[in-house]
Amino acid sequence: MLSQIVHAAERVPGWWRLRSLFLSGVAALHRRRLGRVAFVAITGSAGKTTAKLLTTAVLATAGRIRPGAGTMNTFDHIMIVVIATKPSDDFCVMEISAGKPGALDRPLATVRPRIGVVTSIGGDHLKAFHSVEAIAEEKAKVIACLPEDGTAVLNADDPLVIAMADRFSGKIITFGLAESAALRAEDVRSAWPERLSFTAVYQGSAVEVRSRLCGIHWTTAVLAALAVGLAVGIPLAQAAKAIEAVEPYPSRMHPVSRGDGVTFIMDDWKSSHWTMASVFAFLEAARARRKILVIGTLSDYSGNAPRTYGRVTRSALGVADHVVFVGPMATHALRAKDPETAHRLHAFAAIKDAAEFLGSLLQKDDLVVLKGSINSDHLGRLAHHRLDPISCWRMDCGKNMPCSVCSALRADVTSASRQAGRPPAATVSPSRQINLAVLPQCTAPMEVLVGIGNPGERYQNTPHNVGVGVLDAMAARLDLTWSVHDDVALAHGTLNGKTILLAKPQTYVNNTGKCLKELSEALGFRAEDCVLIQDDIHLPLGKLRSRARGSDGGHKGVRSVLVTFQTDEFRRLKIGVAPAGPPPSAAEYLTTPFTAEAAATIDPAINAAVDRLLSMLGKA
């Protein structure tokens, strides 16, 4: 009846404005009818969903249970689970998240759990809490709110978790690898294709536990579920038997494969920096012909992004045969490339390009781990596409849901194309090739100056085209003549005994890389021979900054160059174009002509940029 009321309310216009208030009120009233139901609240920085899945299986062997739905753990979803619980249920299991300080206060006041579980404390939501100690303080509320006859289930291996025992005077069951743990795991093993198994020891009894999970880091979740079973009187052997049948939850180290022998381990729900160690441990122990690790956007790290990605990249190269980064931060990984690892490290801004690369790389018996964030990367598409062609390659989707349940995944794939079989790789549109016969006869050594911008009169004198403006000024200074060759305008001459080549790609900013790559193959220059002249919206208007190498800094034109060449060894000259105030749209600002006031600052900056370039090339 209550569920019907909620569904009816959802059809009322403006429902979303009152949703939380309405659900809270209904859930609080309904909770009074559920006195006999034992509520189990599971929290922690990792492993909540899997611990809930396993706990549900264990408790189902002893009574009627209302599990929390899927991976949803926000306030509204918790209230819906409470409303869906029946007085005849024996147990209700739910995971509770804490994305910011105070987040647990309202749900705990309604749920009033009898059993509280804390899996671990890590760096998730570090920006909101500022310290892991503050995260632990919030999650400790699950233990502090337990009734005197309740049970706290705590990870003895995590100092911040075991310290929560001081918040509760009732029954406590600790679990872990530590000798002090009441429920202890011994002889833990999980070397792919072997699944996680160990011996569980409790009060002198030992039981073999065989799970379907991938990786020893799931030991915490399994022990937590076994401990909840012990808290309600379920024998250890009975609980272990229930866990044997539980498959990995989707997007949590979930294996999928097809007839070609390639196996994907999909761990693409979230990619917190602090959880990468568990992925590295899994790959290091795994037995496979080749190991490939695909990494998306890292989250919950402090400090400098380039250095963080560099450290992760070096660790990844130590355990995987190939490491592939995907997404807007991918070029940060290129700073870790060296001659020994160059052929094993790859970076792509777009997932479609990564799919094309994997289509040619993967071979029989390869093991591929996908580690990303579901609402940023949707890396699962790499596996889905290999199983059956997909049509959605968006990088700005933002949906907080697995691609497997999204109607857009294969919306535009025709039945005929499916019957024809999967294409060898994600296809890309053909483009014009540069005509070698009409290119200028340039000889090495060569200095190549690349002005990044958009073609056409409408983009002249816009922030995104200051790189083009600098090259025009340079050509005028050196008395060089422009000529257009397919997708690039060129001017060349000699400076200090070297050929100097000025290049203005006649493609849009985001496609700069492909045009420059074709030109480099035609003329034989390398990334190290180039200087990219670009705008920088983060630099004050007119300020110049030069760099020897580095990531793209958010500039999509530079990003396209770095991922096309698979290196960050491009010299840069940046011209600041920061607006006087926050623009309504960065894209609109960058493609709108400068105001007269801004132009008065930019024009001398362009001349100063020419001086800087001549200095960089050895002529002051």
Rg of the chain in Å (alpha carbons) = 29
What is the rounded CA–CA span in Å between residue 317 and residue 299?
20
pLDDT at position 415 is 44
- Is residue 117's pLDDT more than 50? yes
What letters, b where the CB count within 10 A reaches 16 and e where it falls short, cover 145-176? bbeeebbbbbbbbbebbbebeebbeeebbbbb
Q: Report H helices in 215-327.
A: 219-231, 236-243, 276-285, 305-317
Per residue in 408-467, pLDDT (tens digit) is 888 876 544 444 334 333 333 334 455 544 566 666 678 999 999 999 999 999 999 999
Q: What are phi and psi of 3, to 5 degrees?
A: -65, -35
Average confidence (pLDDT) over 502-522: 94
- What are the beta bridge partners of residue 115? 40, 151
Q: What is the pLDDT of residue 125?
A: 83
Q: What is the mean pLDDT of the chain?
A: 90
Do the beta carbons of residue 337 and residue 367 sit within 8 Å?
no
Structure tokens at 466: 């200051």
Residue among 393, 375, 374 at smallest CA distance from 385 = 393
What is the model's pLDDT at position 67? 74
pLDDT for 435 equals 52
464 is catalytic: yes
pLDDT, residue 427, reads 33
∠567-570-571 over CA atoms, to 5°? 155
Over 126-141, what HEC string results?
Answer: HHHHCCHHHHHHHHCH
Query: Please, which pLDDT band fits residue 618 given cuts at 50, 70 and 90?
Result: confident
CB 144 within 8 A of CB 109: no
pLDDT at 270: 86
Asked if residues 460 and 593 have their Cβ atoms less than 8 Å apart, the reply is yes
Sketch out the chain's domains with CATH numbers.
Answer: 2-243 (3.40.1190.10), 254-419 (3.90.190.20), 440-616 (3.40.50.1470)
Query: Is 405 exposed, middle or buried (CB count within 10 Å of its CB: 0-12, 13-18, 19+)?
Result: exposed
**Out of 3-17, 51-65, 234-248, 301-315, least confident range:** 3-17
Residue 403: predicted pLDDT: 84
* Cα–Cα distance for residue pair 283/281, rounded to 1 Å: 6
**Single pTM value for the model:** 0.87
Is the preceding peptide bond at 193 cis, omega within 30 degrees of 0?
A: yes
Scan for tokens 């011996």, then name that residue: 199
Tokens 């009074």: give the residue: 32
Residue 350 gets which letter from DSSP? S
What confidence score (pLDDT) does residue 177 get?
97
Which has the minimum average pLDDT: 153-157, 272-276, 331-335, 435-439? 435-439
Cis ω for the linkage preceding 255 (within 30 of 0): no
Rounded to the nearest 10 degrees, what angle do helices 2-9 and 75-84 cross at? 140
> 298-330 pLDDT, tens per residue?
988 888 899 999 999 999 999 999 999 999 999
Interior CA angle at 247 toward 244 and 251, to 5°? Answer: 150
Given the residues 77, 332, 464, 485, the one annotated as active site: 464
Q: Which residue has the tokens 């001549």?
A: 614
Q: How many Å apart are CA 403 and CA 398, to the nearest integer?
A: 11
- Give dist(CA 516, CA 412) in Å, integer: 32
Judged by DSSP in three states, 4 sits in helix
* Strand (E) or helix (H) holding 108: helix 105-111
- Cα separations (Å) of 240 from 54, 59, 207, 472? 10, 11, 8, 73
Alpha-carbon separation of residue 71 from 179, 237, 269 (angstroms):
32, 27, 10
Say if strands 488-495 and 498-505 run parallel, antiparallel, or are unpaired: antiparallel
Residues 142/145/148/152 CA torsion (nearest 10 deg)? 10
Query: Is residue 524 over pLDDT 70?
Result: yes
pLDDT value for 442: 67
Separation CA 18–CA 566 (nearest Å): 50
Sequence-distant (6+) residues with CB within 8 A of 563 are: 330, 331, 347, 348, 349, 353, 513
pLDDT digit string, tens, across residues 567-597: 999 999 999 999 998 888 999 999 999 999 9
pLDDT at 541: 97
